[in-house]
């Protein structure tokens, strides 16, 4: 029996992909192999072919990695209700100046808070997720990067959600617009679009996605030391280990080593704050790179530290130096992931 949601999901597929800029997309009907699998799972478990995930399709390993991280940290039932995770997602998105994600996750949180959905396991921590998971407490945690207000056993899900959005916010700022709308769509369409998307996403929450089914997309890998906080939940640990390894392997193939070394050094000094609108923080380290690697270094540093500033010129300069869609995705996904790892560690530094 066909899913009745397909009547709405099918026409939204093209509109979702039209939102992606700077790189080509893979149409739903042309997707094969794991790309087709992820597209189907997105509609089944998230409710819609979400552009923040689908934009990774030109590099199937990155598509699998981004989907695995989102699904296993945020969508699957656990100890923490989805509403609490949406509160974390919205707070992280605001801190990263990502209006697209702020709109989507704030809307979803408000919907779930007003009309909670049932889940198989979330009730274990109570309808609101347990002590320390009220929206204002979670927002204060994200904003201050202080001691987590919740019980340690909730860390893999809540810190995992924060890690996921630290990554996705940067990719969305680079490749999508400010609102979940196709180009040239009128602003007045936001309200009706959000109602449709929220309805589809709520339907996926009610369906309670099964745990761990995305793990077979990528091979097993060791969990990075700075993500050791995920080890208390083997499923989330496995997802983050596999997804981060896939991004690192792609970067090792397509991102110059000099760029990776430079960005890693800058992130080690980064305090998590916005570097500001000037270019001194950017130009000084870029002078250390060979001239041929500077466009990649520029794109990587902007993605990691000020993703809202990635513009057409940064992409054009990278392409002029020979970078294609795969290379653009490799640079941005690696920089976004390394920044997400650094930022999630800062969120838990007093734990």
Q: So which residues are the catalytic ones?
A: 101
Burial 249-285 (b: 16+ CB within 10 A, else e): bbbeebbbebbbebbeebbeebeeeebeeeeeebeeb
Distances (CA, A) of 324 to 53, 59, 290, 328, 333: 19, 11, 19, 6, 14
Burial 127-149 (b: 16+ CB within 10 A, else e): ebbbebbbbebbbebbeebeebb
**Closest listed residue to residue 148, CA positions, set 129, 165, 169:** 129
8 A C-beta contact, residue 232 and residue 156: yes
């Amino acid at each position: 029996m066909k899913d009745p949601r397909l009547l709405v999901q099918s026409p939204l597929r093209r509109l979702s992909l039209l939102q992606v800029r700077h790189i080509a997309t893979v149409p739903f009907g042309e997707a094969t192999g794991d790309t087709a699998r992820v597209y189907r799972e997105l509609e089944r478990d998230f409710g819609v072919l979400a552009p923040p995930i689908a934009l990774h399709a030109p590099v199937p390993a990155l598509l699998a990695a981004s989907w695995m991280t989102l699904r296993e940290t945020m969508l699957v039932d656990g100890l923490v209700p989805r509403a609490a995770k949406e509160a974390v997602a919205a707070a992280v998105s605001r801190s990263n100046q990502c209006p697209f994600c702020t709109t989507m996750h704030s809307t979803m949180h408000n919907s779930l808070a007003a009309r909670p959905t049932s889940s198989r396991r979330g009730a274990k921590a109570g309808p609101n997720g347990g002590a320390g998971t009220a929206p204002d407490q979670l927002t204060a945690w994200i904003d201050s990067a202080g001691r987590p207000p919740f019980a340690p056993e909730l860390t893999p899900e809540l810190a995992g959600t924060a890690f996921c959005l630290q990554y996705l916010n940067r990719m969305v700022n680079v490749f999508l617009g400010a609102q979940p709308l196709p180009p040239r769509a009128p602003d007045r369409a936001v309200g009706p679009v959000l109602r449709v998307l929220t309805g589809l996403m709520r339907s996926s929450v009610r369906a309670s996605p099964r745990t761990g089914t995305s793990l077979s997309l990528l091979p097993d890998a060791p969990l990075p030391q700075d993500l050791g906080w995920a080890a208390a939940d083997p499923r989330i640990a496995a997802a983050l280990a596999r997804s981060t390894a896939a991004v690192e392997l792609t970067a090792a193939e397509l991102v110059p080593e000099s760029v990776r070394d430079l960005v890693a050094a800058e992130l080690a000094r980064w305090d998590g704050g916005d570097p500001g609108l000037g270019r001194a923080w950017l130009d000084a380290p870029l002078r250390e790179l060979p001239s041929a690697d500077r466009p990649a270094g520029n794109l990587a540093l902007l993605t990691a530290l000020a993703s809202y500033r990635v513009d057409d010129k940064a992409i054009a300069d990278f392409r002029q130096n020979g970078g294609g869609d795969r290379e653009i995705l490799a640079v941005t996904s690696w920089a976004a992931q390394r920044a997400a790892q650094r930022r999630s560690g800062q969120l838990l530094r007093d734990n």
